Amino acid sequence: MTHQNIKKFSLALVGIIAFVLPLVLRSPTYLHILVLLYFYAYLTTSWNLVGGFAGVLPLGHAAFVGIGAYTSTILFLQYGISPWIGMIVGSILATIVGVLIGLPTLKMRGAYFALATIAFSEGVRVMIENIDFLGPFKLNGPRGLLIPPLNTGLANFLFVGKEPYYYIILIMLIMALAFTYFISRSKLGYYLNAGGEEPEAAMALGVNVARAKLIAMAMSCFLTALAGTFYAQFTLYIHPRSIISLDLSFEIAFIALIGGRGSIAGPVLGALLLRPVSDFSRIYFGATLPGLHLVIFGVVLVLVMIYQPRGLQEPLTRAFNKLLDRFAVKTTMEDKK
């Protein structure tokens, strides 16, 4: 069996385990943790399109999560429009906003771009937090919006148990990973890598770096806003400090940096490591030490940046490839016997 076949078999096995897991794991608490793990892996995968491959550091993606969440929720509560339709509307709106923000900010370098995205995200949060009505749309200010758990069913994106949400976010994550893989192997992916590492050299070779980054920003915002609708329907309550907080923006970036930005598996590995730490620290220390999970994230980030600056994906990939080599050698020796 070749390395490629073993990798395909491993991916298929992981996928089967993921789909079967809710049949074995019946605890609502653990299913809730798994849903959030996939949710953050999905968010980080979406962020990775611009924050990883494009080589910039956006720290305001919570704003696009909020745009998606508020758009679908308002359309659902006020006009009875299905969240599935509101999800697409919110993503298109987030894409337009992301492009308008990206046009001036993507020309900035280093910390300036990161600071600009923080300022934008905080501006959106403060605006929504202090406005009850935006035209005919009810934002409800700091009180947020509550989705009544009535008329449950697929059409309304409302379910009684955790299992449907589990499968929806799992499918969303698989689709996001597949889309990222396709982009990474496309001409756009090569342009983004070249523009992220050596923008001057890429432009000298005729690559329109600014255009490539703007396309990546648009795709990232669209996918991120989809997650906003999912979060709103999963929690049934959104407010500015939960859905458009800097904590969320930083957490997305931390997961990518620790897992390995610019890689396919990095966001998933980062979420697998950090999300359980975050959830259990909130469960056991949330009342006495609020924000402890961010301190832990910071410590882990410092250690990773010192010893594995390209993230955990690189050493884990090397270890997996060595394991494959040993397996291949063992298989060859057995065949000779």
- DSSP letter string over 87-105? HHHHHHHHHHHHHHHHHHH
N-to-C CA span, the chain: 17
Average pLDDT, integer, range 186-201? 82
pLDDT at 337: 56
Please determine, for residue 293, whether its predicted confidence score (pLDDT) is greater than 90. no
| Element housing 299 (H / E) | helix 292-307
Of 18-27, 138-147, 223-232, 270-279, minimum mean pLDDT range: 270-279
Tell me, what's the pLDDT at 326?
73
Whole-model pTM?
Answer: 0.92
CB atoms within 10 A of CB 1: 11
Dmax (CA) of the chain: 78
Q: b/e per residue, 225-242, with b = 16+ CB within 10 A?
A: bbbbbbbbbbeeebbbeb
Mean pLDDT of 72-94: 96
Percent of the chain with pLDDT over 90: 52
Which residue bears the tokens 């990232």?
220
35-81 per-position pLDDT tens digit: 999 999 999 999 999 998 888 889 999 999 999 999 999 999 999 99
pLDDT at 96 over 90: yes
Q: Return all residues near 79 (Cβ < 8 A) that are at least 6 apart.
A: none
Extended beta strands in 1-52, E state: none
**Average pLDDT estimate for 214-240:** 96
165-191 per-position pLDDT tens digit: 999 999 999 999 999 999 999 999 888
Joined tokens for residue 325? 């080599």
Tell me how far apart the alpha carbons of residues 168 and 34 are, in angstroms, rounded to a whole number.
Answer: 12
Residue-level pLDDT at 333: 56
d(CA 230, CA 249): 17
Considering Cα of 201, then 202, then 204, then 208, what sign does the dihedral take?
negative
User: Is the distance from CB of 47 to CB of 222 less than 8 angstroms?
Assistant: no
β-strand partners of 158 = 153
Strand locations in the chain, DSSP E?
A: 133-134, 137-138, 145-146, 237-238
**The token pair that represents 14 in the structure block:** 């992981």
The average confidence (pLDDT) of the chain is 87
CB atoms within 10 A of CB 217: 25
Averaged over 137-164, what is the pLDDT? 92
The answer to whether the Cα torsion of 266, 45, 42, 236 is positive or negative is positive
